[in-house]
């Protein structure tokens, strides 16, 4: 390698929807030039809900967003999903081939509404909890061998907290959500494994 080029591998940290994520990247430094940062693509191995349930959750999210001053909402590009593992890799072709084996739908159980204060103290996440079932843990365990430990950027194993984020308020004062449809918050439904790039 020429003397004027220095290549370093780093963990940088960045923010995505006000959450801190570790970001693996390669930094190329050329003498007398600005550093060039090359990040690996980020992916979300997630569960997508069956259409009827997805419509009900979007309807619930719209109702909550009307009642709260929110900064997070479903927009067509982002739909309700349950993250199994967030990760980053440059081996996406290999993972796409392996994930075909994991596309069998599984049953999940929604388990109530959770209000979770943002780590930075600005706002509150509104989530539908999902029962941390053996189905979900098995699916995560089947996917883990496909990626390296250093590529994972979400909670796994005992830190796995399955949920559906449906809204985020801009502040945490006077959160009042009225007349919720509790049937959807306790619903059993089918969900389909998918790989989402973000």
Residues 47 and 105: their CA atoms lie apart, in Å, by: 9
Kindly state the tokens that stand for 25.
Answer: 């990247």
**How confident is the model at residue 97, as a pLDDT?**
76
Kindly state the tokens that stand for 124.
Answer: 């509150």
Tens digit of pLDDT per residue, the chain (198 long)? 555 555 454 444 443 433 333 444 445 455 565 555 456 778 888 999 999 999 999 988 888 888 887 777 777 677 899 999 888 877 767 777 777 778 889 999 999 888 888 877 778 888 999 999 999 999 999 988 887 777 887 788 888 899 999 888 887 766 777 767 778 888 999 999 988 877
Phi and psi, residue 74, nearest 5°:
-75, 140
User: What is the separation of C-alpha 134 from the centre of its chain, rounded to a whole number of angstroms?
Assistant: 20
**How confident is the model at residue 22, as a pLDDT?**
42
From the DSSP assignment, how many helices (H) and strands (E) are in the chain?
A: 4, 10
- CA dist 37 → 3, 21, 40 (Å): 19, 16, 10
Residues with Cβ within 8 Å of residue 21, at least 6 apart in sequence: 13, 14, 15, 42, 86, 153
Which helix (H) or strand (E) element contains residue 196? Answer: strand 188-197
List, in order of start, the domains of the chain with CATH numbers: 1-39 (no CATH), 41-197 (3.90.1140.10)
pTM: 0.74
């Amino acid at each position: 390698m020429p003397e004027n080029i220095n290549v370093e591998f780093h963990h940088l940290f960045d923010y995505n929807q006000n959450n801190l994520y570790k970001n693996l990247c390669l930094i190329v430094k050329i003498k007398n030039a600005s550093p060039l940062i090359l990040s690996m693509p980020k992916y979300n191995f997630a569960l997508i809900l069956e259409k009827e349930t997805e419509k009900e959750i979007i309807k619930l999210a719209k109702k909550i967003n009307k009642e709260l001053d929110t900064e997070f909402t479903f927009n067509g590009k982002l739909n309700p999903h349950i993250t199994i593992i967030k990760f980053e890799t440059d081996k996406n072709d290999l993972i796409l081939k392996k994930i075909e084996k994991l596309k069998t739908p599984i049953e999940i159980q929604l388990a109530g509404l959770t209000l979770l204060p943002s780590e930075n103290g600005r706002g509150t996440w509104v989530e539908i909890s999902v029962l941390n079932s053996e189905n979900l843990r098995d699916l995560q365990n089947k996917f883990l061998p496909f990626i390296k430990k250093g590529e994972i950027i979400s909670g796994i194993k005992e830190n796995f907290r399955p949920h559906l984020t449906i809204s985020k308020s801009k502040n945490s004062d006077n959160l009042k959500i009225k007349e919720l449809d509790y049937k959807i918050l306790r619903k059993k439904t089918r969900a389909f494994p998918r790989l989402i790039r973000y």
